[in-house]
Chains A and B, each alone.
Chain A
Amino acid sequence: MSLLEVKNLSVSFGPEGKAFKAVDRVNLTVNAGEVVGIVGESGSGKSVSSLAIMGLIDFPGKVHAEQLHFEGQDLQALSEKARRQITGDEIAMIFQEPMSSLNPCFTVGDQIMEAIEVHQGGKKKERRAKAIELLKQVGIPAPESRLDAFPHQLSGGMSQRIMIAMAIACDPKLLIADEPTTALDVTIQAQIIDLLLDLQKEKNMGLILITHDLALVAEAADRIIVMYAGQVVETGPVDELFAAPQHPYTQALLNSLPESSLGHRRLQALGGVVPGANDRPTGCLLSPRCPNAQDHCRQQEPEATGSIERQVKCFFPLNQPGSSAA
């Protein structure tokens, strides 16, 4: 049984009939001890889908899912109170901007201890001891004194470590990290990713790593999900997906990286931009930007095909086994 099983998850905003689907029929499974990377550009629905899994989409947003199971338990059938018990305890999340995710009015110790108090209770002394233990785990020097620091006294990297400490406070089985290192410098980014992966292995957590940085997930994740304009366009094991991408969008993303054009003066850019709320095309959503698009693509939406492990949503997938075309 998978840790998390999501089938046909959709999130829409706006009035009935004219609703804008920020997330459109997304399938996602995460096993214990697995790192799943979700990549896509801004507006591709990566963050919204993770918020939907956490149950953090408020009115007027509407969440629909055929299946939203965590450890075999149907999250949609739970009462709000029961779901709240799971959120933050067994499923935890780390947000993009550590500086604005922490409450500036309370010490970091208060904030970590609050998470422990809500889900585990215990005496204040025990909670404090646990918080010190957590800060040690995330590699913060002098944890006893750091516990009484306010967020503004900490650097970005330190704040993100605090966020990670809060997220792992209740030993979650699934950790969702939404762009955990985007606001940080490269050397600090490397430290934080190392820390996340170490903790993930140590605790055998499932980890969903959401990012726009393809190279980052290439180094960290086991399995990749590529999203475009709210839809999953391709999934697969990391090595396969990057070595032989099947969807033209994945291929275009990889091509547009400077790393793929080493020694060439021009980058292979993909023209156009991600369609917004009001200008989604009919048919395949990539069709206006896709170099291989044909009339068929502009009229009809492709279905996801392939095995459960390796799926692609395209009429004319690239790098098919058996074909020689690269």
Chain B
Amino acid sequence: MTVVLEAKNLKKHYEVTTGFMKPKANVRALDGVSFSLKAGKSLAVVGESGCGKSTLAKLLTMIETPTDGILEFEGQVKDISNASILKELRKHIQIIFQNPYGSLNPRKKIGTILEEPLIINTDFSAAERKEKALAMLEKVGMRPEHYHRYPHMFSGGQRQRIAIARGLMMNPKILIADEPVSALDVSVQAQVLNLLMDLQEELNLAYVFISHDLSIVEHIADEVMVMYLGKVVEFGTKEQIFSKPQHPYTRALLSSTPRINPAHRIEKIRLKGELPSPLNPPTGCAFNTRCQFANDRCFKETPELIVTDSSKAACFAIAEQRLDYLK
């Protein structure tokens, strides 16, 4: 299986002003994230708001440049400061945004929206562009007459289909989906997820699927990366994460996700408090303020991602066998 994208120790730090005459603070929105993405597979990124999921999406789509770290595309490091290389690279990495009501230009017809990437990146004639746009509309389950309509004439699910179609116009190898179904109703959510799965199979797409909804992640992902305050706390295959979660945070996330079937529910772990401010992260393990297993070491040293029985996790308590649920 070919690796299409590899991230090594990716970092993004933002400088923010804290007030007049006060020193600038450094927010570590993303602090050392590594993963590899394979063709035809989905990597899910989960975590609460403020954990760096969307920053990661911006780095991967090269909307923002990383502060540090390397992005390898098909085994090669690309110089993304070079505009022509960047333009070439962007054809292969596309993104779908969360809110289909905000991501489509209300003044443009669907046809224009779909053809815009072709105008910028290719020299197809108008007739060829239209042909490609119509073919893509059909692929995402829309009808040819929709070509001449405006975004406001469509429902949320249809708009998200259009956004997906736009993302696929350049035949990308990688599609970043930033919470693609969280703005949709349950029954429509299933339609769009099915479409994404079908397209992946047909086009051998690699997905980076960003979501906070673990039940959707469980359905769509091959590998799962759990993030907390800019760092990866656990990384593993779907089976590892969902059947044998190692990190206390992963476990808390899983137990907080409501389930219909009583048999699927696991013992609740209630986290106290909230995500600490990224401006002022705790020393040691970032999770120590909310973790019931934290001891002195967790408040002093920062754990690294290490291999455990199943997944990779960043927690001292696993090696020290302090976690009740793993015994």
- Interface residues, chain A, CB within 8 Å of chain B? 41-42, 155, 157-158, 185-191, 194, 212-216, 218-220, 242, 252-254, 256-262, 265-271, 273-274
Please, which residue of chain B has its CB at the minimum distance from the CB of A239? Answer: B262
Q: Check if B218 sits within 8 Å of A186, measured CB to CB.
A: no
Q: Check if A259 sits within 8 Å of B253, measured CB to CB.
A: no
| 12 pairs, A vs B, C-beta closer than 8 Å | A187-B48, A188-B48, A190-B255, A190-B268, A213-B258, A215-B259, A242-B260, A252-B187, A253-B187, A258-B215, A258-B218, A273-B187
Main secondary structure of the interface of A (DSSP, over half): helix
Q: Check if B260 sits within 8 Å of A218, measured CB to CB.
A: yes
In Å, the complex CA distance between A185 and B51 comes to 11
B24 contacts the other chain (Cβ, under 8 Å)? no
The 7 closest A-B pairs by CB, nearest first: A258-B219, A256-B190, A269-B190, A215-B258, A41-B185, A185-B48, A190-B256
Q: Check if A274 sits within 8 Å of B185, measured CB to CB.
A: yes
Pick from A194, A260, A269: contact of B260, CB below 8 A. Answer: A260
Q: A259 — which chain B residues lie within 8 A by C-beta?
A: 215, 218, 259-261, 264
Q: Check if B185 sits within 8 Å of A267, measured CB to CB.
A: no
B191 contacts the other chain (Cβ, under 8 Å)? yes
Please, which residue of chain A has its CB at the minimum distance from the CB of B48? Answer: A185
Q: Check if A212 sits within 8 Å of B259, measured CB to CB.
A: no
Pick from A186, A216, A242, A252: contact of B212, CB below 8 A. Answer: A186
CB distance from B258 to the nearest CB of A (A): 4
1/0 per residue, CB under 8 A from A, across B25-63: the answer is 000000000000000000000001100000000000000
Please, which residue of chain B has its CB at the minimum distance from the CB of A267? Answer: B190
Please, which residue of chain B has its CB at the minimum distance from the CB of A265? Answer: B197
Q: B268 — which chain A residues lie within 8 A by C-beta?
A: 190
Please, which residue of chain B has its CB at the minimum distance from the CB of A220? Answer: B258
In Å, the complex CA distance between A253 and B268 comes to 25
Q: Check if B48 sits within 8 Å of A257, measured CB to CB.
A: no
CB distance from B264 to the nearest CB of A (A): 6
Q: B185 — which chain A residues lie within 8 A by C-beta?
A: 41-42, 212, 273-274
Pick from B219, B271, B274: contact of A261, CB below 8 A. Answer: B219
1/0 per residue, CB under 8 A from A, across B178-209: the answer is 00000001111111011001000000000000
Q: Check if B186 sits within 8 Å of A215, measured CB to CB.
A: no
Please, which residue of chain B has its CB at the minimum distance from the CB of A213? Answer: B258
Interface centre among B49, B268, B274 (most CB of A within 10 A): B274
Please, which residue of chain B has its CB at the minimum distance from the CB of A252? Answer: B187
Q: Check if A253 sits within 8 Å of B186, measured CB to CB.
A: yes
Please, which residue of chain B has its CB at the minimum distance from the CB of A255? Answer: B190
CB distance from B42 to the nearest CB of A (A): 12
In Å, the complex CA distance between A33 and B218 comes to 35
Q: Check if A194 sits within 8 Å of B270, measured CB to CB.
A: yes
B148 contacts the other chain (Cβ, under 8 Å)? no
Q: Check if A273 sits within 8 Å of B188, measured CB to CB.
A: yes
Q: Check if A267 sits within 8 Å of B219, measured CB to CB.
A: yes
Q: Check if B214 sits within 8 Å of A266, measured CB to CB.
A: no
CB distance from B292 to the nearest CB of A (A): 13
Q: Check if A191 sits within 8 Å of B270, measured CB to CB.
A: yes
CB distance from B16 to the nearest CB of A (A): 16
Given the known interface contacts A185-B49, A267-B219, the answer about A212 and B186 at a Cβ–Cβ threshold of 8 Å is yes
Q: A266 — which chain B residues lie within 8 A by C-beta?
A: 194, 197
B252 contacts the other chain (Cβ, under 8 Å)? yes
Given the known interface contacts A155-B274, A213-B258, A215-B215, the answer about A187 and B253 at a Cβ–Cβ threshold of 8 Å is yes
CB distance from B40 to the nearest CB of A (A): 13
B157 contacts the other chain (Cβ, under 8 Å)? yes
CB distance from B270 to the nearest CB of A (A): 6
Q: A158-B274, A186-B48, A257-B190 are in contact. List 6 more A-B contacts (CB 8 A).
A: A189-B256, A190-B255, A212-B185, A256-B187, A256-B189, A270-B187
In Å, the complex CA distance between A253 and B186 comes to 7
Q: Check if B258 sits within 8 Å of A219, measured CB to CB.
A: yes
Interface centre among B157, B252, B256 (most CB of A within 10 A): B256
Q: A262 — which chain B residues lie within 8 A by C-beta?
A: 218-219
Interface centre among A187, A214, A252, A266 (most CB of B within 10 A): A187
Q: Check if B191 sits within 8 Å of A271, measured CB to CB.
A: yes
Q: Check if B256 sits within 8 Å of A258, measured CB to CB.
A: no
Q: Check if A218 sits within 8 Å of B259, measured CB to CB.
A: yes
Please, which residue of chain A has its CB at the minimum distance from the CB of B254? Answer: A186
B171 contacts the other chain (Cβ, under 8 Å)? no
Please, which residue of chain B has its CB at the minimum distance from the CB of A189? Answer: B256
B155 contacts the other chain (Cβ, under 8 Å)? yes
Interface centre among A158, A242, A259 (most CB of B within 10 A): A259
Please, which residue of chain A has its CB at the minimum distance from the CB of B213? Answer: A186
Q: B261 — which chain A residues lie within 8 A by C-beta?
A: 242, 259
Q: B191 — which chain A residues lie within 8 A by C-beta?
A: 269-271
CB distance from A241 to the nearest CB of B (A): 11
In Å, the complex CA distance between A265 and B253 comes to 23
Q: B213 — which chain A residues lie within 8 A by C-beta?
A: 186
In Å, the complex CA distance between A265 and B238 comes to 14
Given the known interface contacts A273-B155, A273-B188, the answer about A219 and B48 at a Cβ–Cβ threshold of 8 Å is no
Q: Check if A216 sits within 8 Å of B258, measured CB to CB.
A: yes
In Å, the complex CA distance between A223 and B80 comes to 57
CB distance from A214 to the nearest CB of B (A): 6
Q: Check if B212 sits within 8 Å of A273, measured CB to CB.
A: no
CB distance from B273 to the nearest CB of A (A): 8
Q: A191 — which chain B residues lie within 8 A by C-beta?
A: 270-271
B216 contacts the other chain (Cβ, under 8 Å)? yes
Please, which residue of chain A has its CB at the minimum distance from the CB of B258? Answer: A215
In Å, the complex CA distance between A205 and B152 comes to 42
Pick from A187, A242, A265: contact of B256, CB below 8 A. Answer: A187
In Å, the complex CA distance between A189 and B216 comes to 17
Q: Check if A267 sits within 8 Å of B155, measured CB to CB.
A: no
B103 contacts the other chain (Cβ, under 8 Å)? no
In Å, the complex CA distance between A214 and B260 comes to 7
Q: Check if B252 sits within 8 Å of A268, measured CB to CB.
A: no
In Å, the complex CA distance between A216 and B265 comes to 12
B257 contacts the other chain (Cβ, under 8 Å)? yes
Q: B274 — which chain A residues lie within 8 A by C-beta?
A: 155, 157-158, 188
